[in-house]
């Protein structure tokens, strides 16, 4: 393939027209092109008076030597996992959890003629939608199947973001297979890919059906309650319905599996405290974010604008940053335990809601807790979630506050121009009453700093909804970096976000693939 870079386009064009322009700029006769694809597309909005798309296009031509001045690259779309199957065990691997790590682990295993059993305490994604909606409508919480638990994992009811900080070739495997199962092809080349909750539901169901058709098995609405270890080896998995003998368990439990963390700790599985973050969700008008990021001059049909913001206080060592920004989205009721309030953000693929929302978080470190247990951070999260529940009225209404009131440390008594999107309901409150002082102080500093980057970010009417506590797992289940197995138990593979090895859909999926490869090649 020839890679044609830095192709600036200032109008809306179809892919073929973009490829034609790229070839023309690079001196390539379009008649010589056998095929092409868009490798990368981003928006350059640094100059609000001249916003343009920046493309990279890969083309395959008849006479490559004729265009020797062009950059030659491998075909980046054709990524295959050529694995050597060394697994001799006849026992079926068991995957606990059907989030991105669990699903992609199962997918790779069945493609290599290994037939796993996937155990998921929540429902199939089709039923899960109804359970999430029931909670949002009535405040009736299903603690086994909700935004945190169920097929697809917590990321299903988010924005379907596929951005990641990891640089791993397996990311392309994840993207290509999301497309295979129904995702828009553009996720393979746009700068900040997302799928949207509405698309994810169908994609996850398609993936599950493929796994089943190729020998995998799913046990939904079934909860793992214990593991049987023979010395330091996995012997079986015990659910609330049966015991399943196995020598291989992939622990893809997600960051909210608190009872499982406690059970593993009691069984002396090595765990450690880790850094995480807590904070609130902030809502603005999406139109304000668009104008701030794009200005008012462009005639391009740009997507709803995003932002990524960070602030660091050198004196305290605390940082404040935006996380999981959802353009045109909704703040979601994301509790998984009774008498708690947890928030998250969600967008559909078109991101066409009136409000933009994002988590605004402050870092928490193991030094913030006095206890020695590796679960201290988890208990910190839970205490904060319960305080939010009480402040909201003990009925699953979330406590909210206008930014102006939060900065002035006074309870909000009325709403302004921005209407909160959280359901089942909200209660005007003072979030300073429940947030730890180091969190509220750093949030105030960060919000005021962000207002210098995005004018109006700290506007009085912007809405804060509490609390956001599940940005990442508060614990790490220690594993060997080479085998990816727990250092405590042979055959136990901690995988994905819950055990502390990922931070989003993409990195969790990649980690699930890496564990599958170890299982396939590991003996």
Tell me the β-bridge partners of 477.
Answer: 271
Bridging pattern class, strands 310-312 and 319-326: antiparallel
What is the tens place of the pLDDT at every residue in 439-493? 999 999 999 999 999 999 999 999 999 999 999 999 999 999 999 999 999 999 9
CA distance 428 to 476: 36
Q: What pLDDT score does 523 carry?
A: 59
Task: Examine the pLDDT at 81 and tell me if it is beyond 90.
Answer: no
- Do 128 and 156 touch, CB atoms closer than 8 A? yes
**Domains, in order of start, for the chain:** 2-72 (3.30.70.2700), 94-272+474-521 (3.50.50.60), 275-468 (no CATH)
Average of per-residue pLDDT across 497-504:
96
Residues 331, 355: Cα–Cα separation, whole Å = 9
Chain mean pLDDT for the chain: 96
CB 391 within 8 A of CB 429: yes
Token duo for residue 424: 């089942």
pLDDT in tens, 320-370: 999 999 999 999 999 999 999 999 999 999 999 999 999 999 999 999 998
Interval 373-426: pLDDT, tens:
999 999 999 999 999 999 999 999 999 999 999 999 999 999 999 999 999 999
The DSSP code for 149 is: S
Three state DSSP letters for 435-484? CCHHHHHHHHHHHHHHHHHCCCCCCCCCEEEEEECCCCCCEEECECCCCC
The backbone torsions φ and ψ at residue 443, rounded to the nearest 5 degrees and listed phi first, read -60, -45
Cα–Cα distances in Å, from 58 out to 19, 54, 190? Answer: 8, 14, 14
Q: Which segments of 27-99 does DSSP mark as H helices, in order?
A: none
The burial class, CB within 10 Å (0-12 / 13-18 / 19+), for 162 is buried
């Amino acid at each position: 393939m020839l890679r044609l870079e830095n192709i600036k386009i200032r109008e809306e064009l179809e892919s073929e027209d973009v490829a034609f322009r790229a070839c023309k700029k690079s001196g390539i006769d379009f008649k010589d092109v056998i095929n092409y694809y868009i490798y990368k597309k981003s928006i350059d909005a640094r100059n609000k008076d001249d916003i343009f798309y920046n493309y990279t296009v890969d083309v395959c031509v008849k006479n490559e030597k004729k265009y020797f001045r062009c950059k030659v690259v491998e075909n980046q779309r054709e990524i295959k996992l050529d694995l050597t199957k060394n697994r001799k065990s006849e026992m079926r691997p068991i995957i606990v959890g059907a989030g991105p790590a669990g699903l992609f682990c199962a997918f790779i295993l069945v493609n290599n003629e290994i037939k796993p059993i996937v155990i998921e305490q929540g429902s199939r994604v089709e039923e899960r939608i109804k359970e999430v909606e029931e909670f949002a409508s009535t405040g009736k919480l299903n603690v086994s199947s909700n935004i945190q638990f169920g097929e697809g994992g917590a990321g299903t009811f988010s924005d379907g973001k596929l951005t990641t900080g990891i640089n791993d070739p397996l990311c392309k495997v994840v993207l290509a297979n999301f497309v295979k199962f129904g995702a828009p092809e553009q996720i393979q080349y746009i700068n900040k890919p997302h799928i949207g909750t509405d698309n994810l539901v169908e994609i996850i169901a398609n993936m599950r059906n493929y796994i089943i058709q190729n020998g995998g098995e799913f046990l939904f609405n079934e909860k793992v309650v214990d593991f049987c270890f023979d010395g330091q080896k996995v012997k079986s998995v015990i659910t609330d319905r049966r015991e399943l003998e196995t020598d291989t368990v992939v622990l893809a439990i997600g960051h909210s599996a608190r009872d499982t963390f406690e059970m593993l700790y009691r069984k002396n599985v090595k765990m450690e405290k880790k850094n995480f973050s807590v904070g609130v969700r902030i809502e603005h008008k999406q139109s304000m974010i668009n104008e701030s990021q794009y200005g008012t001059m462009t005639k391009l049909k740009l997507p709803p604008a995003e932002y990524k913001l960070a602030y660091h206080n050198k004196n305290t060592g605390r940082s404040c940053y935006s996380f999981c920004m959802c353009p045109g989205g909704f703040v979601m009721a994301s509790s998984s335990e009774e008498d708690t309030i947890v928030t998250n953000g969600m967008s559909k693929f078109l991101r066409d809601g009136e409000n933009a929302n994002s988590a605004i978080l402050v870092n928490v470190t193991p030094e913030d807790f006095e206890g020695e247990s590796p679960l201290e951070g988890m208990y910190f999260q839970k205490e904060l979630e319960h305080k939010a529940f009480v402040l909201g009225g003990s009925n699953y209404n979330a406590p909210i506050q206008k930014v102006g009131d939060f900065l002035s440390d006074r309870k909000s008594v009325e709403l302004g121009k921005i209407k909160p999107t959280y359901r089942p309901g909200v209660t005007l409150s003072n979030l300073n009453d429940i947030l730890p002082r180091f969190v509220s102080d750093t949030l105030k500093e960060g919000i005021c700093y962000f207002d210098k980057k995005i004018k109006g970010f700290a506007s009085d009417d912007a809405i804060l909804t509490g609390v956001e506590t599940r940005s990442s797992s508060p614990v790490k289940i220690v594993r060997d970096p080479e085998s990816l197995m727990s250092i405590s138990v042979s055959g136990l593979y901690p995988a994905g976000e819950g055990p502390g090895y990922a931070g989003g859909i993409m990195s969790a999926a990649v980690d699930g693939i890496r564990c599958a490869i170890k299982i396939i090649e590991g003996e």
